[in-house]
């Protein structure tokens, strides 16, 4: 680890967590990503100018209401967005490789080895007619020149790593013989089988009960620590974010509206949408019985976005220019804190001497 950047960061008043992050190599770097779909009502930007990065050994949480573009962003990152969805701008660097300039063959070779994705529904992601051992072995043998016997041995070791009891015996079981939580562990075993540098977990625990959710997150965090891979955790659960993430990107209507480290996001959110999100979702770090307020209104239709801020119709801090000016993601008060809200630039303009 070099300390060159660390001194400068400390001088800027950043905490040691941010300083150590500066020292880890960035393994996923997304810049200005745009993904569009043509509809009868014109083109819609499902992903609009998204920029984010994750360093080795760190966890980026991605939050936002359903339909805000979280899944589409990462399907685009893996080159597996539905055919109707076209990436029309931006750059995606994965382990230093340019994803959008890669051939389908190169992308296939990167999946599993450089990046893996785990989805919400562990049942549909596994093939019901093959044993889990066969499915894990297939992942291994598609990329490695190993014998069937060796693949089987490695599959047992992988099941052990994801804490499936009696792994050698469970290898010959079919997916339906596993509980939901155990199936998700099998999928995680398949996702880490080839040692990816980035693991994207898309609402990996939504279908599971609360105790199992916590165990799966513990497992993902443990694997991240052991392997030094980067973890992208797409989740609705702000309690999981607080406990497991280093940084957070808040999505709204296809854009990132706030991006910073976990502590400042929870202590001083700099976007009214994030504040509303905190008020609308139960949090384990708050006293039980804290009153929840659902966010009034609905997200805008992506084919007919309003000209100004996409959150304006639902925002209780709205001012006149919010419906005409589009807020960009720019620095807000606090170190490394970005917000796409006109409130902060307005405040800065009011405070500066005229
Ligand atoms: N195959 C598709 N074709 C066109 N639009 C889609 C398709 N799949 C999803 N969408 C739209 O893309 C937007 C973003 O979806 P998604 O990334 O799945 O949101 P999230 O993961 O945040 O819930 C939504 O408005 C959704 O309706
Ligand atoms: S730009 Fe205006 S409408 Fe949008 S979130 Fe900020 S204050 Fe609210
Ligand atoms: Mg999704």
Structural contact between residues 28 and 80, judged by C-beta atoms closer than 8 angstroms? no
Domain harbouring 26, CATH code: 3.40.50.300
Question: Is 180 part of any domain?
Answer: no
Chain-centroid distance, C-alpha 69: 11
> For residue 218, is pLDDT > 50?
yes
> Is 159 part of a structural domain of the chain?
no
Question: What is the pLDDT averaged over residues 229-256?
Answer: 94
Q: How far is CA 68 from the centre of its chain?
A: 12
> What integer pLDDT is reported at residue 121 of this predicted model?
74
User: Could you tell me where the beta strands, DSSP code E, fall in 14-168?
Assistant: 26-39, 42-55, 59-63, 85-94, 97-98, 115-118
Specify if 145 maps to a domain. no
Q: What is the mean pLDDT of the chain?
A: 90
Residue 125 lies in a domain: no
- pLDDT range class, residue 13, cuts 50, 70, 90: very low
Sheet holding 198-202, edge to edge: 115-118, 198-202, 230-234, 59-63, 247-252, 255-261, 338-339, 330-331
Question: Distance between CA 139 and CA 136 in Å, rounded?
Answer: 5
From the CA of 146, how far away is ligand 3's center (Å)?
35
Range of the domain at 259: 4-114+196-351
Residue 164 covered by a domain? no
pLDDT for 19 beyond 70: no
- Provide the pLDDT for residue 287: 65
Instruction: Locate the ligand 1 atom nearest the alpha carbon of residue 69 and give its number.
Output: 17
- Residues near ligand 3 ion, CB 5 Å cutoff: 71
For atom 20 of ligand 1, which residue has the closest CA? 67
Q: Which atom of ligand 2 is least distant from the CA of 321?
A: 2
Q: How many domains does the chain have?
A: 1
N-to-C CA span, the chain = 45
Bridging pattern class, strands 85-94 and 97-98: antiparallel
Q: Does 186 fall in a domain? A: no
Question: Which of ligand 1's atoms lies nearest the C-alpha of 47?
Answer: 14
Atom 18 of ligand 1 has which residue's CA nearest to it? Answer: 71
Q: Give every CB contact of residue 149 below 8 A, 6+ residues apart in sequence.
A: none
Asked, for residue 174, whether it belongs to a domain, the answer is no
The answer to whether residue 15 scores a pLDDT higher than 50 is no
């Amino acid at each position: 680890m070099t300390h060159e950047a660390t001194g400068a960061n400390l001088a800027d008043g950043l905490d040691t967590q941010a300083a150590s992050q500066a020292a880890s190599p960035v393994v996923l770097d997304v810049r200005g990503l745009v993904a569009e779909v043509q509809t009868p009502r014109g083109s819609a930007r499902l992903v609009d100018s998204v920029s984010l990065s994750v360093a080795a050994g760190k966890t980026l949480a991605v939050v936002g209401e359903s339909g805000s573009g979280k899944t589409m962003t990462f399907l685009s990152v893996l080159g597996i967005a539905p055919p109707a969805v076209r990436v029309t701008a931006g750059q995606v660097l994965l382990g230093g490789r340019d994803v959008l300039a890669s051939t389908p063959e190169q992308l296939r070779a990167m999946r599993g080895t450089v990046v893996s994705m785990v989805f919400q529904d562990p049942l549909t992601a596994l093939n019901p007619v093959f044993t889990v051992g066969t499915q894990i072995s297939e992942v291994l043998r598609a990329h490695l020149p190993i014998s069937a016997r060796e693949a089987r041995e490695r599959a047992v070791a992988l099941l052990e790593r994801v804490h499936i009891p009696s792994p050698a015996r469970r290898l010959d079981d079919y997916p339906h013989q596993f509980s939901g939580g155990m199936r998700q562990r099998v999928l995680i075993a398949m996702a880490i089988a080839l040692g990816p540098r980035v693991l994207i977990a898309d609402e990996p625990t939504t279908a599971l009960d609360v105790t199992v959710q916590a165990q799966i997150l513990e497992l993902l965090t443990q694997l991240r620590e052991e392997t030094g891979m980067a973890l992208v955790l797409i989740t609705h659960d702000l309690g999981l974010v607080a406990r497991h993430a280093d940084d957070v990107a808040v999505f709204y209507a296809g854009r990132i509206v706030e991006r910073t480290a976990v502590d400042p996001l929870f202590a001083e959110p700099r976007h009214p949408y994030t504040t509303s999100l905190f008020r609308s979702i139960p949090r384990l770090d708050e006293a039980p019985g804290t009153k929840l307020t659902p966010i009034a209104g609905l997200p805008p239709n992506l084919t007919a976005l309003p000209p100004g801020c996409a959150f304006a119709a639902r925002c209780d801090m709205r001012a006149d220019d919010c419906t005409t000016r589009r807020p960009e993601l720019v620095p807000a008060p606090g170190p490394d804190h970005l917000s796409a809200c006109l409130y902060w630039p307005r405040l800065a303009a009011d405070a500066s001497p005229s």
